[in-house]
């Protein structure tokens, strides 16, 4: 197996040759892993960074917020641009920017410089995440697409699981800049692989509308900012102003792109029942995950008196089981209905969330771990089939838009989940975690119903009804 070719493969009808496919998947896995990892490690290291840069806890939160806002605000514009200039170019540009911005983060000497570097890093991560699933559609043959989505889901789950551990290890032997510096050699390696083997794809004939992109940035950045500040119980007036601004920008966005053959916010794709239901399923499921992942650490540390290290271990079974189940579910989705697979998995997630909400007052470690495992198995059984359903329910020339919605739905769901946790704790400080988990169970139940409804939706781009979405 070699990567000595001097040019990337041309567009193909049904995926890359096996050798090139392996290297392309490795390039995507490294890049997606880094982009996913950087949220987790920054969260873990925030107190250390704040202390070293002499910043207040409230101000230091922008080290995390700047990255997330920059990413979610630019996902759909990058996805739309990828359809015009090629997904390969967007991915390579995003990866190069992410790598350089990681170096800038490592060299930052103050909170403002670190925050600015994190904005650039978030934009780079957006370039990677906005088109990575679109590229998978051209890397894998259609018969193996579910397997590719399963590997993608596994990488994200593993990165999420090991992020806090990696951050703790690095901080134990070095300083916080190394959290970002480690991305530089990995980014260079991924760039080398990607330049060699990522395929060129066909390009759309329409032009890029910069004003629509501006409206999109305004809509999603204000919406995410409002949800995040609501979660931190910022003044209600400020949150309402931000929500109003998001609505104004959203209305301008819809008006401007009306009649466009490939709108940046893909309302045309949402008219397809398979795509719309799969997107709703994703938002609800990631909201359920957000409700659990934000509330459970409070429960473990406050109610059960566990240490931070113990809490980390208790949280680990969920993402670990997701990583184990994702490839299996991905392979199954190539043969069986993603609608049914997702419905089964999300029913298990709903049951797992209920079981966590009904934990006894002084549960044993085993009692917690097996319930987290049930949630992880259900979530893992949903993720890869749902990715396959979203991507294959869009025509090939709209793969970028579908890929952008995949990443946007994940971030929106997680943000909604975090905001609802704050509401649950406001309603009852003592029973906040239980309310959050119960709310997560409701979201998982709604997601399961939405998934099963896809069994009755036609998918003209896969040749089967509901079965192979």
User: DSSP secondary structure string, 260-312?
Assistant: -SS-SS-HHHHTSHHHHHHHHHHHHHHHHHHHHHHHHHHIIIIIS---HHHHH
Q: How far is CA 148 from the centre of its chain?
A: 16
Q: What is the mean pLDDT of residues 114-130?
A: 93
Q: What is the mean pLDDT of residues 272-284?
A: 91
Domain residue spans of the chain: 8-208, 210-259, 265-469
Instruction: Output the six-digit token pair for 190.
Output: 């991924």
Q: Give the C-alpha separation, 280 to 274, whole Å.
A: 10
Please tell me which residue, 164 or 208, carries the higher pLDDT value: 208
CB atoms inside a 10 Å sphere around CB 254: 15
Cβ atoms of 95 and 191 within 8 Å: the answer is yes
Instruction: Output the six-digit token pair for 450.
Output: 């939405």
Q: Give the C-alpha separation, 288 to 284, whole Å.
A: 6
In this predicted structure, which of 13-17, 79-83, 173-177, 407-411 has the lowest mean pLDDT? Answer: 13-17
- According to DSSP, the residues that pair with 459 across neighbouring strands are 464
The pLDDT of residue 424 is: 85
pLDDT in tens, 376-402: 999 988 888 888 888 888 888 888 888
DSSP for 114-153?
Answer: HHHHHHHHHHHHHHHHHHHHHHHHHHS-GGGHHHHHHHHH
pLDDT at 284 over 60: yes
The pLDDT of residue 248 is: 95
Cβ atoms of 24 and 152 within 8 Å: the answer is no
Q: Give the C-alpha separation, 164 to 179, whole Å.
A: 11
The pLDDT of residue 49 is: 83
pLDDT at 326 over 80: yes
Please tell me which residue, 191 or 165, carries the higher pLDDT value: 191
User: 265-469: same fold as 8-208?
Assistant: yes
In this predicted structure, which of 45-54, 347-356, 380-389 has the lowest mean pLDDT? Answer: 45-54
421-426-428 Cα angle (round to 5) = 95
Please tell me which residue, 121 or 155, carries the higher pLDDT value: 121
What contacts 343, CB < 8 A, 6 or more positions away? 448, 449, 451, 452, 455
DSSP code at position 425: H
pLDDT at 4 over 60: no
The pLDDT of residue 464 is: 45
Q: What is the mean pLDDT of residues 12-28?
A: 81
Angle between helices 273-298 and 338-357 (to 10 degrees): 20
CATH number of 8-208: 1.20.1250.20
DSSP code at position 109: -
Integer CA distances (angstroms), 53 to 57, 108, 117, 318, 404, in order = 11, 10, 15, 34, 35
In this predicted structure, which of 99-103, 242-246, 314-318, 355-359 has the lowest mean pLDDT? Answer: 314-318
10 burial class (0-12, 13-18, 19+ CB within 10 angstroms)? exposed
pLDDT at 175 over 70: yes
Q: How confident is the model at residue 407 (pLDDT cuts 50, 70, 90)?
A: confident
User: CATH classification of 265-469 is 3.40.50.300, yes or no?
Assistant: no
Q: Give the C-alpha separation, 234 to 159, whole Å.
A: 31
The pTM of the full predicted model, rounded to 2 decimals, is 0.82
pLDDT at 440 over 90: yes
The pLDDT of residue 467 is: 39
pLDDT in tens, 229-276: 776 667 778 888 989 999 999 999 999 988 788 888 888 888 888 889
Closest CA to 272 of 454, 137, 428: 454
pLDDT at 469 over 60: no
Q: How confident is the model at residue 19 (pLDDT cuts 50, 70, 90)?
A: confident
With left for phi above 0 and alpha for psi between -120 and 50, is residue 466 left, alpha or beta? left
pLDDT in tens, 52-88: 888 776 677 788 778 888 998 899 999 999 988 989 9
Tell the residue number behind the tokens 């979610």, with chain if given: 72
pLDDT at 3 over 60: no
Please tell me which residue, 256 or 307, carries the higher pLDDT value: 256
SS3 of 431, please?
A: coil
């Amino acid at each position: 197996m070699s990567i000595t070719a001097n040019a990337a493969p041309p567009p193909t009808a049904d995926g890359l040759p096996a050798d090139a496919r392996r290297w392309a998947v490795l390039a995507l896995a490294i890049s997606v892993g880094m982009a996913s990892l950087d949220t987790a490690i920054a969260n873990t290291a925030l107190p250390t960074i704040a202390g070293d840069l002499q910043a207040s806890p409230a101000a230091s939160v922008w080290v995390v917020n700047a990255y997330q806002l920059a990413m979610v605000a630019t996902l759909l514009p990058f996805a739309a641009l990828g359809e015009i200039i090629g997904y390969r170019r967007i991915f390579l540009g995003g990866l190069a920017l992410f790598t350089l911005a990681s170096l800038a983060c490592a060299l930052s000497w103050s909170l403002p410089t670190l925050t600015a570097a994190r904005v650039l890093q978030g934009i780079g991560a957006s370039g990677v995440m906005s088109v990575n699933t679109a590229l998978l559609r051209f890397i894998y043959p259609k018969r193996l697409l579910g397997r590719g989505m399963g590997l993608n889901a596994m990488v994200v789950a593993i990165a999420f699981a090991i992020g806090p551990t990696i951050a703790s290890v690095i901080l134990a032997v070095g300083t916080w800049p190394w959290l970002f510096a480690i991305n530089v050699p990995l980014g260079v390696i991924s760039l080398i692989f990607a330049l060699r083997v990522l395929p060129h794809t066909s390009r759309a004939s329409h032009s890029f509308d910069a004003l629509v992109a501006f409206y999109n940035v305004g809509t999603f950045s204000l919406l995410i900012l409002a949800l995040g500040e609501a979660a931190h119980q910022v003044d209600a007036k400020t949150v309402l102003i931000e929500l109003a601004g998001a609505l104004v920008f959203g209305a301008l966005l819809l008006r401007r792109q009306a009649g466009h053959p490939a709108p940046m916010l893909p309302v045309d794709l949402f008219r397809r029942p398979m795509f719309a239901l799969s997107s709703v399923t994703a938002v609800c499921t990631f909201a359920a995950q957000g409700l659990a992942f934000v509330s459970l650490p409070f429960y473990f540390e406050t109610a059960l008196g566990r240490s931070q290290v113990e809490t980390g271990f208790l949280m680990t079974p969920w993402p670990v089981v997701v990583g184990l189940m994702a490839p299996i579910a991905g392979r199954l989705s190539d043969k069986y209905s993603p609608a049914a697979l997702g419905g089964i998995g999300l029913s298990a997630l709903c049951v797992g969330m209920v079981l966590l909400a009904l934990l006894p007052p002084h549960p044993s470690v085993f009692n917690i771990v097996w319930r987290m495992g049930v949630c992880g198995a259900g979530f893992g059984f949903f993720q890869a089939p749902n990715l396959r359903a979203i991507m294959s329910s869009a025509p090939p020339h709209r793969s970028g838009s579908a890929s952008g919605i995949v990443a946007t739905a994940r971030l929106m769901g997680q943000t909604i989940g975090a905001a609802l946790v704050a509401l649950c704790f406001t309603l009852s400080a003592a029973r906040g975690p239980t309310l959050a988990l119960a709310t997560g169970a409701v979201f998982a139940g709604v997601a399961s119903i939405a998934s099963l409804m896809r069994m009755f939706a036609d998918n003209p781009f896969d040749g089967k009804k509901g079965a192979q979405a």
